[in-house]
Amino acid sequence: GAGVSQSPRYKVAKRGQDVALRCDPISGHVSLFWYQQALGQGPEFLTYFQNEAQLDKSGLPSDRFFAERPEGSVSTLKIQRTQQEDSAVYLCASSLEGFEEQFFGPGTRLTVL
């Protein structure tokens, strides 16, 4: 069956550009999470949705980061005015219910020049 998919898989942006990263969760999964993983580190939580409601955005590092899931399925993470420190792998995960196992997508590797 289809797992979590993310696009694009790789993104190179010039500093100051805006980027949009897409996540397609497993069909029927209520919960969706975004994580940021820097090189050599574990993933760090960014934000969490239950259906279309964004219940926790405590991990978003600045107001340049914005996430949405308007119809409770596909989600987009947007980063405005990208900075070099935004370079990382952005992982999306979904779970059937929040407390169950999270399934991760392949990630989007963002490089900001």
* Interacting residue ranges for another protein, rule: CB under 8 A: 31, 33, 35, 40-45, 48, 55-56, 58-59, 91, 93, 95, 98-99, 101-107
Among residues 14 and 99, whose Cβ is nearest to another protein? 99
Strands 5-7 and 103-104: unpaired
Distance in angstroms (rounded) separating the CA atoms of residues 13 and 113: 6
CB of 30 to another protein, least distance (A): 10
Among residues 1 and 14, whose Cβ is nearest to another protein? 1
Longest Cα pair distance anywhere in the chain, in angstroms?
A: 38
